[in-house]
Amino acid sequence: MSTDIKKKPFSEVIRGETPVLVDFYADWCAPCRMMPPILKELKQNMGNSLNIIKIDTEKNPDVAIRYQVRGIPNLILFKEGNVLWQQAGVIPAQQLQAIITQKLAEYEQSK
């Protein structure tokens, strides 16, 4: 993740042109620890066409509550401030990439 994204407020990051995949997690969550290598592979495959950020639900409960994150890990795909997809659980990188590609295509068609 680029450092300029880290300096922006969350609401501004998710409103951008570039889609953003947000990984809601907690340090104590065992399945959450499976996500970093999956997200790294996803970022390598998708490059700059996707931003990926991680949000610790323990340190940012207000954001987790706002997006009704009830189970973790929880992934939410945003584009231009819109939630395109949300799912809890560990998802393999290839499946995740296919879902993201499909949801972005559906979003572009609906505009």
Beta bridge pairs of residue 88: 74
**Given the residues 5, 26, 29, 34, the one annotated as active site:** 29
**Given the residues 13, 20, 21, 32, the one annotated as active site:** 32
Residue 32 annotated in active site: yes
Strand 20-25: give its sheet, edge to edge. Answer: 51-56, 20-25, 74-79, 82-88
Q: Is the N-terminal amide bond of 73 cis, ω within 30° of 0?
A: yes
Distance between CA atoms of 63 and 67, rounded to whole angstroms? 6
Two structure tokens written together for 29: 């969550």
Question: Which residues are identified as catalytic?
Answer: 29, 32
